Each structure stands twice: as structure tokens, then as C-alpha cells.
Amino acid sequence: MKGYNIKYGNDNEQTQTVPKWDFGGDKPWTNSIWNKIIKSLEELDHSNYPLIISDLDNVNEKELILENKNELEEWMKNAFK
């Protein structure tokens, strides 16, 4: 699994790749890295929206556009079950 590519910021010039898993509980430093990635997304200012999300494992899938933090939180609930 590759994960998701998330574009954000003015003209979507910034990107973040997010794995689809939390790396497993046996390596605390990798969980820490994953949690920092998620926290950085949750802390994005409203000026960074919309977020454009691409599924790197399903390149034929349409990009998802999230307009606000509520949509991001809802997407994360479903994407990281």
C-alpha cells in the first residue's frame, strides 16, 4: 500500500503523502511519525483548503476535494478505519 497524496496551500503547491496504516504498534517511533503527519493535517489553517486527495493505490480513482476541516475529519474516519 502506498497511501494518499494530499495537495494543499495556495494553488495546491504543498503536498503530503499519508500512509494508509499506522505502521503497527511494535515500533513506537513509526507510530509517532504517522501521528505527526495526521496532526499536521488536522492543524491546517482554513486558508490551506481545499485539500485535493489522490489515492496512490488506485490511480484511476477520481481525486477527492475537501473544502474544510469537518470534511477532512469525516474523510479520515472512513479512510483510516
> What are the extents of the domains in the chain?
4-79
Give pLDDT tens digits for 9-51.
988 889 999 888 755 555 666 677 778 888 999 999 999 999 9
Question: What letter does residue 10 receive in the DSSP assignment?
Answer: G
Cα separation values, 14 from 30, 42, 48, 79, Å: 23, 15, 9, 21
Residue 25: predicted pLDDT:
54
**pLDDT tens per residue, range 15-26:** 999 888 755 555
Residue 81 has pLDDT above 80, yes or no: no
Average pLDDT over residues 43-65: 94
What pLDDT was estimated at residue 48? Answer: 94
Q: What separation in angstroms does the CA of 10 have from each of 26, 45, 47?
A: 38, 12, 8
pLDDT at 2 (0 to 100) = 84
Pairing of strands 4-8, 64-66: unpaired
